[in-house]
Amino acid sequence: MNTKEVTAKQILSRSKVFAYALNPYIGCSYGCTYCYARFMRRFTGHGDKWGEFVDVKVNASELLEKEIRLKKVARVWVSGVCDPYQPVEGRCRLTRRCLEILTENGWPVTVQTKSPLVLRDLDLLKRSESAEVGLTVTTADDAVRSMFEPRAPSVGDRINALATLHSEGVKTFAMIAPILPGADGLAEMLTGKVDHVLIDRMNYHHADRIYRKYGVEWARSEGFFIRQGRDLRRAFEGEGIPCEILF
Ligand code: SF4
């Protein structure tokens, strides 16, 4: 893994999902095969493959202290184009420091990750009335997970993290995106652990890459996502969990 320290010019960026996104790192060592954020490679001039580099924005918290003084309070998505709790965060603690600043200053935060390392920051998340945490869970089948997300935490570890957060009173959601095969049991597995669920499909550009690499025909099929999405939504609603399909 090529990890280096960089100095960023800005830390809060405008986002279509929430008012702002905050990415403490450039790159993501999980390197999921379908990752839509791999465009960051070109954007930041990296020659390494996606998943093989991480730039650590060492001045993230200093920038954030300054930027929140100049902006109106609004929800911040942590992160968007990297996983804020990828392994390097265990040592660098940039996400934690940024969360501290945001929550101490009353900024609402939506954390999205695949990592149970988020539990390290349970103290901060519990102190914020408006924080919510989403774990991305794409399938109930860990063999499928290991095919598409070989370096990311297991399905069970993610669901256990949601269970702990939820039982500690933190608002939680599951991001089932992209839906992969073997997602059928997720409604039962997530009941009592999430407040709501979001479902999205594979990004077609990367679906084509995966199709060529693994010969996975369903990734090109509109029908797969529509059928899976509807079935899952029905299952979640049957458990009394609000569920939104995003495509
Ligand atoms: S964890 Fe998210 S940001 Fe990181 S490689 Fe996987 S999909 Fe991309």
Q: Report the distance separating Cα 218 and Cα 174, nearest Å.
A: 22
Per the omega criterion (within 30 degrees of 0), is the bond before 146 cis?
Answer: no
Per-residue three-class SS string for 46-104: CCCCCCCEEEEECCHHHHHHHHHHHCCCCCEEECCCCCCCCCHHHHHCHHHHHHHHHHH
Atom of ligand 1 nearest to the CA of 114: 1
Q: Report the distance separating Cα 118 and Cα 165, nearest Å.
A: 9
Residue with CA at minimum distance from ligand 1 atom 8: 35
Residue with CA at minimum distance from ligand 1 atom 7: 35
Q: Report the distance separating Cα 42 and Cα 1, nearest Å.
A: 18
Residue 20 near residue 74 (C-beta atoms within 8 A): yes
Question: Is there an atom of ligand 1 within 6 Å of 25 CB?
Answer: no
Q: Report the distance separating Cα 177 and Cα 175, nearest Å.
A: 6
Question: Is there an atom of ligand 1 within 6 Å of 31 CB?
Answer: yes
| Strands, sheet with 132-136, edge to edge from the N-terminal-most edge strand | 12-14, 20-22, 76-78, 109-113, 132-136, 171-176, 196-199, 243-245
Question: Is there an atom of ligand 1 within 6 Å of 28 CB?
Answer: yes
Residue with CA at minimum distance from ligand 1 atom 5: 31
Question: Is there an atom of ligand 1 within 6 Å of 35 CB?
Answer: yes
Q: List phi, psi (to 5°) of 26.
A: -105, 125
Residue 24 near residue 98 (C-beta atoms within 8 A): yes
Q: What contacts 24+ positions apart, CB below 8 Å, involve 67-71?
A: 67/10, 67/11, 67/12, 68/12, 68/101, 68/102, 68/105, 68/107, 71/12, 71/20
H/E run at residue 219: none
pLDDT given at position 205: 62
Q: Report the distance separating Cα 245 and Cα 172, nearest Å.
A: 17
Atom of ligand 1 nearest to the CA of 82: 3
List per-residue pLDDT tens for the chain, 247 residues long. 999 999 999 999 999 899 999 999 999 999 998 898 888 877 788 888 989 999 999 999 999 999 999 999 999 999 999 999 999 999 999 999 999 999 999 999 999 999 999 999 999 999 999 999 999 999 999 999 999 999 999 999 999 999 999 999 999 999 999 999 999 999 999 999 999 999 998 875 665 566 666 666 666 677 788 888 999 999 999 999 999 999 8
Question: Is there an atom of ligand 1 within 6 Å of 241 CB?
Answer: no
Residue of 83, 89, 201, 205 best suited for mutating to test ligand 1, as the one with most atoms within 8 Å of CB: 83
pLDDT given at position 216: 67
Q: Report the distance separating Cα 81 and Cα 172, nearest Å.
A: 20
Amino acid letter, residue 86: Q
